[in-house]
Structure 1
Amino acid sequence: MAGWTRRIFTSIAAATLVTLAAGAAQAQIKIGAVLSATGPASFLGDPSKRTLEMYVERLNAAGGINGQRIQLIIYDDGGDANQARTFATRLVEDDKIVAMVGGSTTGTTMAMIPIFEEARIPFISLGGAIQIIDPVRPYVFKTPHTDKMACEKIFQDIQRRRLTTIAMISGTDGFGASMHDQCVAVAPRFGITIAHSERYGPRDSDMTPQLTNIRNRAGVQAVVNAGFGQGPAIVTRNYRQLAVPFPLYQSHGVASKQFIELAGEAANGVRLPAAALLVAAKLPDSDPQKAVVVGYSTTYEQRSGQPVSTFGGHAYDGLMLLVEAIKKANSSDPKKIRDALEQIRGFMGTAGVVNMSPTDHMGLDLTAFRMLEIRNGDWTIVPEGGS
């Protein structure tokens, strides 16, 4: 059976199981999700799928939203943008959803945006690139921090280290290309010069030539890798093998334990901006975000048997923002849900405090990011103002 056909059948079966799990009564609020639960981006999509399923089950057990049960319809695009668009069309035309949480990658998200915009159905994306919500589109929102924010947080840390000249190595995927461009755009504001750039493709298994070029470039003091998936782990291993003598930064696109496992000991010393979720238990009790991130982390790890990742957290935030909007609107009408989403203020999620507005469909600022360093195979918090 062809791979895409298998994904359709698997996705339909998954959607059916979720519907059956919701109980015998017909669900009245249909929420869709198109996720990369399998394929090269499964480290993004699988924890999102698990999260949506477990929390929809919990919500329905507690009576649903405003007394109405939720029907969650999930399709697996396998990381293929064309399949994502096909499933988005199916959710609109056949399944008649009222809102959508999903889009594991920038590429799949961008492929689906025209479908939901035309249908006027709220779409809360889990993709990372800033172009998802800039420019603002009426029906498109997102929960993860943007690639532009990642550049800014990294450059703040580089400034604190009194470094001024960097090199970049970036994936050619949608996220990697976008983050590269965002870093180039904001670097002058931080007094940082990007002296050299290299690229790698999604199928590349050795980045030694690119990193050798960077190591031999005069004046480079740090390296920033813009990318997600297995590429950054390969970059990290090759970086240590070449004994490149300056700091390596990754993006929030690797904010899961899977990156540490893939990179092994080479990951020690790597810094990256990420949500507080990865260090939930290490936050001081006075941190206003601690209760939310500890609660989600505990629930996810107990129910799934897997380490928590920020990617599941993005799905949690998307679902709970949608729940709040439906409650606020007291309606499952897509237009009213959209209007309510845009008015949400002070929502405490796993990514930070969300303050939506007509000009900001993400609602996070730079304080939502924590700078982390990997030490002895685990996440540690880099103190603000530290070096």
Structure 2
Amino acid sequence: MVVRTPAVREHPDQLPAGRPTPHIHRGVSLRSRALVLGARLGMGPVVRVWMAAPEFGWPLDWLDAAAGLLPRPRHTQVRPVALPNCSAERVSTPSSVAGRAILYLHGGAFLAGGLNTHRALVSCLSTSAGAPVLHVGYRMLPRHTIGSAVSDAVDGYRWLLQRGYRGSEIVVSGDSAGGYLAFMAALSMPRLGLPKPAGVVAISPITDLRPRTEAIADTPTWPVFPPSTLHVFSRYLTRAQSRITVKGEAELLISPIAEDLRDLPPVMIHAGANEILRMDAERMTDRLLRSGVPCDLHVWEGQMHAFPVVANATRESRGAIRSIGRFVRDVTSAPDRPLPNRHRERLALHR
């Protein structure tokens, strides 16, 4: 069940045209260029076929099943965890220490991906942050609503609390659709009587589920995803949600960017400079800062959507993972300590 926070007075469409000043990471490695080209040639046609007939019921489970054939990350301990309505796994590495944890929610447009596709990234995050990670295999469309996925994320948070972690020791994170779930889970916690997490990390997050086309003219190059993807995807979500009813009623699609964000903890967002969801990242950052929530936005030149999923494969993905690890350690190491200067200065600029 999604617990909706009070509506905000400032609608996303009424935000000023100016953008928050991000940390720009320039320079593109040869390996990264090769991966972007491979993704464009390999995944691009798959995305276009899905867009031509999104209602067909494509067998998208194959992606996670295929990833399951890959060897497990080295020096990584993976233990299965049974949540009330979905599977999960606790991932830890030798650098994991007591006193902090990460809740991770994989991407995949609420339709694909899973524990196998993102295990390498989760292992790297565990090493970088020095924390075990609860990786949640939440329920997905078209059999389950997005609200079910949010509930699974909250169940994962409860599992960590029941194991002795405090809210101030847990960072909620995710990429793409998982970034959406990270925000929605964190927004739901106060209404459910749960303690606020220490922070939220979102990689290329979806923050607005409404059909829109305004980003198309704003970003000229879109590795893997064509410009019309957002519009087709939003229309598909609306139809898919309407077919599943809870207690006889269709579930509303809720966009984090349109919610009251004031109770959120510090946030870090990473996005590619030329990716389809850069605008979502920028607008969410602006809303967060105007709501008094510290937020660091990192924009990476030449990177595709959710690029850290390739784990240690590129210089840029390693850099993003190191940055996320520092953020996790910052917000969990001393909850009562003032935020580092870089967070306080960015917040002051938007007050």
Give TM-score scaled by structure 1 length: 0.36
Higher relative contact order (CA 8 A, sep 6+): 2
Identify the structure with the greater helix proportion: 1
Q: Which has the larger radius of gyration?
A: 1
